[in-house]
Amino acid sequence: MTPPTQALIASPVENKISTTSVKSKSGNCDCSSSKSSQTSAKSTLSESMMERVAKHPCYSEDAHHHYARMHVAVAPACNIQCNYCNRKYDCANESRPGVVSELLTPEEAAHKVMVIGGKIPQMTVLGIAGPGDPLANPEKTFRTFELIAAQAPDIKLCLSTNGLMLPEYVDRIKKLNIDHVTITINMVDPEIGTKIYPWVRYNRKRYTGLKASQILHERQMLSLDLLREADILCKVNSVMIPGINDEHLVEVGRVIREKGAFLHNIMPLISAPEHGTHFGLTGQRGPNPKELKKLQDECAEGNMKIMRHCRQCRADAVGLLGEDRSQEFTKDKFMDMAPTYNLEARQVVHAGIDLLQAELQEKKAKVTNIQKTVASPKILVAVTTKGSGIVNQHFGHAKEFQIYEVDATEVKFVGHRKIDQYCQSGYGEEATLEEIISSIADCKAVLTSKVGNCPQESLRKAGIEPVEAYDAIDTVAKEFYAKFLQQEDLLQQAPY
């Protein structure tokens, strides 16, 4: 890692890459010790398209390691009812259910953006995703976008909606240079829609039954056509509801691809009785990680780009997708902070991130691929990371694992698993460890910057190799894979 890159990148993410090779070391139970490739659709995108998504953490899997987004909760009302939402919480089409965000006026929201734009220069995208539907609150939504566009020209504007009112606003969206729009589409067959949407309010009238889903479907299809004609990038979110639309989502993927959607984000239904939603109260379950991955893989076969790094964030989310810094910027705190947004300072930080990304690419290219053989199975590995595409987080500090699928030629991000932090006040929680290990039972290794003796032992007992390293995720994963193959004695079967 060259010194200039280090100098250019601002905290909070440490980016120093060591060249030390992967090794398993002994640690100790006190994990507070002081030592401190993904395969995006990039390769298939045109240069201009790459440029458009390069700094958007949701539209580019690579960007999500480096760039942050923030949401402002300015839109309380909604015009449809989804069976996985009870409206006391944030819009579940873009959020983890059960979360309530602090409602802001457009002026408060703009102030918050200027504060965070200064404090977190990696924040490149401002999204409006609730707590209701942004286009059921058009004046508040567009006033917020206008204020931010005028003050922070380098921040991308992003909007997420159920699509019912989108056709009315495509011109306004284009005029404001909002280049990223998400529509949540859970069906392209209104019969299936009747099991998801009890009612829709459209043109001051409330519709129920099949008619409600027909209206929503027609409006969503029209929205896709209009966005494509206006050359606005469109991502489609779909909530996977086992037994209702899980098999149907492959068809949804086919239709949205034909209509020009850029990316398909299949999110798991999160449903619990305490959320008070129809699905929560009637016992409708969500998919498990295996079912979700299987469906994502099936949809990817239809040649649709699939988003696998969504974190179902809240309507006032702040930070990298895997982290939640919203509590640092609650209204009582940010209203007392002076805006320190500075375009030039932000550009310097972004240039540093460009350099780091180039270095990571270079490193990735240097790691020799193991010659692919019939005997090079795909395996999963779990990674602890604070971002930047580097294995740079202690096992005990992780609140999620990033999961990568590795084979002889590819290290592919396939998802994440949320966990409770193992290390609490410097000590490991044994009960938590068991749950953590069971959440990655299908992984062959955990790649981490540091892991204590006790968790190492438990991981090995569960057949998961603890690998300590501080390097690019691709590099560490490939090196582990080579060792794994040797161990499995598979290399000897290779025809070279």
Residues at the contact surface with ligand SF4, assessed by CB under 6 A: 78, 80-82, 85, 87, 91-93, 132-133, 162
| CB-nearer residue toward ligand CLF: 259 or 311 | 311
162 binds ligand CLF (CB under 6 A): no
Rule CB under 6 A: choose which of 58, 155, 200, 403 binds ligand CLF.
58
- Closest contact distance (angstroms) between CB of 313 and ligand SF4 is 14
Region of 420 (left: φ > 0; alpha: ψ -120 to 50; beta: rest) is beta
Residues 240-269, interacting with ligand CLF (CB under 6 A): 265
CA-wise closest residue to 169 among 118, 237, 99, 219: 219
Task: Select the binding partner of residue 80 from ligand CLF, ligand SF4, none (C-beta < 5 to 8 A, by kind).
Answer: ligand SF4
Task: Select the binding partner of residue 129 from ligand CLF, ligand SF4, none (C-beta < 5 to 8 A, by kind).
Answer: ligand CLF
Question: Residue-wise over 456-473: b if at least 16 C-beta within 10 A, else e?
Answer: bebbeeeebbbbbbbbbb
54 binds ligand CLF (CB under 6 A): no
Q: Which helix (H) or strand (E) holds 249?
A: helix 249-258
Task: Please enumerate in sequence order all residues whose Cβ is within 8 A of that of 418, keeping only pairs 6 or more positions apart, or say none.
Answer: 399, 400
Q: Which stretch binds ligand CLF (CB under 6 A): 41-49, 269-277, 308-316, 436-444?
A: 308-316
According to DSSP, the residues that pair with 399 across neighbouring strands are none
Q: Which stretch binds ligand CLF (CB under 6 A): 79-87, 306-314, 398-406, 450-458?
A: 306-314
Rule CB under 6 A: choose which of 158, 304, 433, 445 binds ligand CLF.
158
Task: Select the binding partner of residue 93 from ligand SF4, ligand CLF, none (C-beta < 5 to 8 A, by kind).
Answer: ligand SF4
Task: Select the binding partner of residue 268 from ligand CLF, ligand SF4, none (C-beta < 5 to 8 A, by kind).
Answer: none
Q: Which stretch binds ligand CLF (CB under 6 A): 122-130, 269-277, 329-337, 436-444?
A: 122-130
Task: Please check whether residue 215 is in contact with residue 207, taking contact to mean a CB–CB distance below 8 angstroms.
Answer: yes
Rule CB under 6 A: choose which of 15, 137, 277, 312 binds ligand CLF.
312
Task: Please enumerate in sequence order all residues whose Cβ is within 8 A of that of 486, keeping only pairs 6 or more positions apart, or say none.
Answer: none
Angle between helices 138-151 and 106-119 (to 10 degrees): 40
Angle between helices 249-258 and 289-301 (to 10 degrees): 40
Q: Which residue has the tokens 């286009």?
A: 135
40 binds ligand CLF (CB under 6 A): no
Residue 148 CB neighbour total at 10 angstroms: 23
Task: Select the binding partner of residue 62 from ligand SF4, ligand CLF, none (C-beta < 5 to 8 A, by kind).
Answer: none
- Closest contact distance (angstroms) between CB of 95 and ligand CLF is 6
71 binds ligand CLF (CB under 6 A): yes
DSSP 209: H
Task: Select the binding partner of residue 92 from ligand SF4, ligand CLF, none (C-beta < 5 to 8 A, by kind).
Answer: ligand SF4
How many residues make contact with ligand CLF (CB under 6 A)?
18
Task: Please enumerate in sequence order all residues whose Cβ is within 8 A of that of 426, keeping only pairs 6 or more positions apart, or say none.
Answer: 30, 31, 32
94 binds ligand CLF (CB under 6 A): yes
d(CA 30, CA 483): 28
d(CA 312, CA 184): 13
160 binds ligand CLF (CB under 6 A): yes
| CB-nearer residue toward ligand CLF: 137 or 182 | 182
CA-wise closest residue to 289 among 418, 186, 378, 477: 418
- Closest contact distance (angstroms) between CB of 136 and ligand SF4 is 8
Task: Please check whether residue 369 is in contact with residue 408, taking contact to mean a CB–CB distance below 8 angstroms.
Answer: yes
| CB-nearer residue toward ligand SF4: 162 or 284 | 162
Q: How many residues does the chain have?
A: 496
155 binds ligand CLF (CB under 6 A): no
Three-state secondary structure call for residue 161 = strand
Task: Select the binding partner of residue 158 from ligand CLF, ligand SF4, none (C-beta < 5 to 8 A, by kind).
Answer: ligand CLF
**Sites of contact with ligand CLF (CB under 6 A):** 58, 69, 71, 94, 125, 127, 129, 158, 160, 180, 182, 235, 265, 310-313, 321
